[in-house]
Amino acid sequence: MSPGHAAAAVAVLASGEGSNLQALLDAAARGELGGEIRLVISDRAQAPALARAREAGIAVRFIDPATHATRAAYGATLQRSLEEAGIELVVLAGFMRILDPRLVEDYAGRMLNIHPSLLPRHRGLHTHRRALEAGDRLHGATVHFVIPALDAGPGVAQFRIAVQPWDSEASLAARVRLGEHALYPRVVRWVLEGRIAWEAGEVRFDGRRLRTPLVLSCDGLAFRSAAA
């Protein structure tokens, strides 16, 4: 991204509840996102995420999978919407659709996703259940740059929690979700500011190669980052 750019245009893609979208909208309203959420796109007309965006006065677009015969056709419509709105950064926040590889490649380094596990553990669905079944002692969420392979792009930052003996799928989901809300706006801001970038196959933070994702840990209600 271009550091110092006053209002980089961000699009958020969301299929569901949109609690991460809400965290991003709230950060933007506080002037803490470093950019402007210009467009929210969903593949579900009734997604609560779209209602949240409308409530915040953001332009929304429902792109109907049923009217697109192929993933490539869906990707082309999506890309047109992004280009028409002059979008510089695409933020996936619970977008439950695999994107066309061409679109992903065109937005390499300009598309982020958040996944509810400590990647590379537990790609795909049901991550909280799988973390419990595997007896993981640590769990959390990962923000990564998006590549065509699902949940496999280079990790940028993680939020980690200790799994407790009494944890259930629901309790893990709730704690991870809260952490996501702290993590995602911060990472988006750093990308928009140019502090985080994915260039020539390397994720860089403040110009230095990031060998492992930044970690945001939860200490009571205070969030600390090893890097900030």
Q: Which residues are annotated as catalytic? A: 115
**Cα distance from N-terminal residue to C-terminal residue, the chain:** 19
Tell me if 114 contacts ligand GRF by CB under 6 A: yes
Other CB atoms within a 10 A radius of the CB of residue 134 amount to 12
* Closest CB to ligand GRF among residues 94, 109: 94
In the complex, the smallest distance separating the C-beta of residue 209 from ligand GRF, rounded to whole angstroms, is 26
135 in Cβ contact with 195 (< 8 Å): no
Tell me if 186 contacts ligand GRF by CB under 6 A: no
In the complex, the smallest distance separating the C-beta of residue 9 from ligand GRF, rounded to whole angstroms, is 20
Query: Which residue is at the shortest CB distance from ligand GRF?
Result: 94
* Closest CB to ligand GRF among residues 6, 170: 170
Residue-wise burial string across 198-228, b where 16 or more C-beta atoms lie within 10 A, e elsewhere: beeeebebeeeebeebbbbbbeeeebebebe
**Cα 74 to Cα 51: distance, rounded to the nearest angstrom:** 22
Tell me if 18 contacts ligand GRF by CB under 6 A: yes
* Closest CB to ligand GRF among residues 34, 116: 116
Query: In which element (H, E) is residue 31 found?
Result: none
114 in Cβ contact with 136 (< 8 Å): no
Tell me if 43 contacts ligand GRF by CB under 6 A: no
Among 141, 188, 210, 216, binds ligand GRF (CB under 6 A): 141
Tell me if 180 contacts ligand GRF by CB under 6 A: yes
**Cα 180 to Cα 169: distance, rounded to the nearest angstrom:** 16
Tell me if 158 contacts ligand GRF by CB under 6 A: no
**Cα 122 to Cα 83: distance, rounded to the nearest angstrom:** 33
Among 11, 25, 93, 191, binds ligand GRF (CB under 6 A): 93
- Stretch of residues binding ligand GRF (CB under 6 A), selected from 81-89, 110-118, 152-160, 220-228: 110-118
- Stretch of residues binding ligand GRF (CB under 6 A), selected from 16-24, 163-171, 194-202, 208-216: 16-24
Q: Exposed (0-12), middle (13-18) or buried (19+): which is 148, by Cβ within 10 Å?
A: middle
- Applying CB under 6 A, the residues found at the interface with ligand GRF are 14, 16-21, 93-94, 114-116, 141, 177, 180
